[in-house]
Amino acid sequence: MKKEFVVIGLGRFGGSIVNELIALKADVMAIDISPERVEEFAQIATTAVAADTTDESALRSLGIRNFEHVVVAIGENIQASILTTLILKEVGVKKITVKAQNDYHEKVLRKIGADQVVHPERDMGKRIANNMVSNNILDYLELSDEYSIVEIRANEKIAGSTLIDLDIRAKYGVNIVAIKRQTQILVSPQAIEEIELNDILIVIGSDVDIHTFERKAL
């Protein structure tokens, strides 16, 4: 069965989600209060509707509760974002993801039951900064305030060593959960696996430990 989603707010963030979901062959109902924005997505989304989502009856009449997952991508208007989320929760939408503008906004969204709160600008900023300060870290995914998963390129210093030789878990407190080698991916590599030059190590751990590993081991 095709997955059915709703995206509310068709700015840069919401619009990008619509485009991507459609490219992934999902069904998407795109909603915005602005008829011009809706017009822009009429040919792209499965359905595009002009509605004020702070109006409960308008949302109900769209049959919103039958969709699996609703994204609230209303940007500037924090009040409209919160009210919309509250109504979605009340009508019984199963999964709600909301874009937060700041920490206070996030706190309120979590209180009223948003399942997932995202900060695209802040998260992308952190990601880019992490890539900028390190020559070896290729990509970065924040798991929580303290923990992350990163992709680190193996250099000459560790190439040729096995995971046992490096004793990474005991020395640095981080774990290598997978190794990408050209087109191959070795998930949960064995301790005797020998690291090759330019392998990409997928490392999980606390940010502090990851940085120590990256500074000292590489």
In terms of DSSP H, where are the helices of the chain? 12-23, 35-41, 56-61, 78-91, 103-111, 120-133, 163-166, 168-172, 207-216
Phi, psi dihedrals of residue 148, rounded to the nearest 5°:
-145, 165
For residue 50, give the amino acid letter: A
> How near is the Cβ of 118 to ligand ADP at its closest, in Å?
11
- Is-contact 195 158, C-beta < 8 A? yes
Cβ closest to ligand ADP, residue 29 vs residue 73? 73
User: Could you identify the residue written with the tokens 């696996």?
Assistant: 193
Cβ closest to ligand ADP, residue 40 vs residue 193? 40
Please report, as ranges, the residues that interact with ligand ADP according to CB under 6 A: 8-14, 31-34, 37, 52-54, 73-77, 80
> How near is the Cβ of 131 to ligand ADP at its closest, in Å?
23
> How near is the Cβ of 183 to ligand ADP at its closest, in Å?
35
Other beta carbons within 10 angstroms of residue 124's beta carbon come to 10
Cβ closest to ligand ADP, residue 74 vs residue 195? 74
> How near is the Cβ of 48 to ligand ADP at its closest, in Å?
12
- Is-contact 26 5, C-beta < 8 A? yes
- Is-contact 31 62, C-beta < 8 A? yes
Cβ closest to ligand ADP, residue 58 vs residue 204? 58
> How near is the Cβ of 72 to ligand ADP at its closest, in Å?
9
Cβ closest to ligand ADP, residue 73 vs residue 86? 73
